[in-house]
Structure 1
Amino acid sequence: MKLSSMTSHSQRGMALLVSLVFLLLLTLIGISSMQNATLQEKMAGSVTLRNQSFQSAEAALRIGESAVQVDTYTLPVCSGTSQCAPPAESSSIAAAGFNSTSGVTWIAAGTGFYGVQNIGTTLTAVNVPSNTSATLYRVTAVGFPGTSRNSRSVVESIYAKY
């Protein structure tokens, strides 16, 4: 009888200690899961914004290409290295209007902008009949998701008109 009473005396409080350790482990797992869920939600939101800005830029690009397709569309040939290069302001443009550095007039289209540059004529354009002169236009479009200006996509195409 003495032996059994000594064993129960030495184990008093051990169940409380073990349950507190398990509770601590479960709390740490719960906190980690919440942080992971928050991170995944932020990543999903970022992907959504990226897709929206890309679709906006793609829509503005198609509007710009449609403007160039019109038979009466004319634009002077760009001059100099800075005006014939892709417009550098596409990474910072926030409003429609003329940019004197690149010589591009930015036009609002939906939730984005597009600009067109006449980069000259050529006889060797792709998908144009041989020995046919084609005027090349660079159409650059910038898209934003809704009213946000933090996320942007820039797309560009070369349009050959003959």
Structure 2
Amino acid sequence: MKISHAQRGMALLVSLVFLLVLTLIGLSSMQSATLQEKMAGSVTLRNQSFQGAEAALRVGESAVKRGTYSSLPVCSGQCAPPAEALVITVAGFNSTSGVTWFASGNGFYGVQNISAVNVSSDVSSDVSATLYRVTAVGIAGNSRSVVESIYAK
């Protein structure tokens, strides 16, 4: 009977160690699940912002097609894409780039008149088109997508 006396409390110690191991595994699994949920939410926001930017881009291209921007002045210098697309939060005129931003759905679009170019392959004929840069920004949560297209009219 002295053997059983020496083993008193050993079952408690073993069960506490197993409980500690199971708790650590559970915490690790919860942390992993939380991280995966955050990543999935981020992907969803990124897709929504991209879709908003695409929709705003199509609205801007339609406005150019309708002739809304026929009197837009040609931009001077190298006519870089508008840098404020990365920070814009409200519609309106930006004096730095000279672009007027219009709200559209979950984003904004702006149009720049790049220049008139000769589009004829025949040197003797003078067929020209005006090139417009349409820049669109989509915003969803803390995600922002910027897309551009060049539209010839």
Match of 2:66 among 48, 70, 86: 70
**Equivalent-residue separation in structure 2 for 1:65 and 1:108 (angstroms):** 14
- 2:149 is matched with 157
Q: Please state which structure has a larger fraction of its residues in strand.
A: 2
- 2:107 is matched with 112
Aligned length: 148
Shift of 1:80: 2.4
Q: State the secondary structure of the residue aligned to 1:78.
A: coil
- 1:61 is matched with 57
Give TM-score scaled by structure 2 length.
Answer: 0.90
Q: State the secondary structure of the residue aligned to 2:14.
A: helix
The answer to whether residue 135 in structure 2 is matched with residue 140 in structure 1 is: yes
**Equivalent-residue separation in structure 2 for 1:97 and 1:12 (angstroms):** 79
- 2:76 is matched with 79
Q: Which has the higher contact order (CA 8 A, sep 6+)?
A: 2
**Unaligned ranges ≥5, structure 2:** none
The answer to whether residue 121 in structure 2 is matched with residue 130 in structure 1 is: yes
**Equivalent-residue separation in structure 1 for 2:94 and 2:130 (angstroms):** 22
Aligned identity (percent) is 78
- 2:10 is matched with 14
Over the residues paired in the alignment, what is the CA RMSD in angstroms?
A: 1.5
Shift of 1:133: 1.7
The answer to whether residue 16 in structure 2 is matched with residue 25 in structure 1 is: no
**Unaligned ranges ≥5, structure 1:** none
Deviations 1:94-153 (A, max 9, x none): 1111111111010111111100001102235xxxx63432211100000112xx4x2211
Q: State the secondary structure of the residue aligned to 2:143.
A: coil
**1:144 and 1:122, CA in 2 relative to 1: closer, same or farther beyond 3 A?**
same
**Equivalent-residue separation in structure 2 for 1:12 and 1:80 (angstroms):** 88
**Equivalent-residue separation in structure 1 for 2:99 and 2:47 (angstroms):** 26
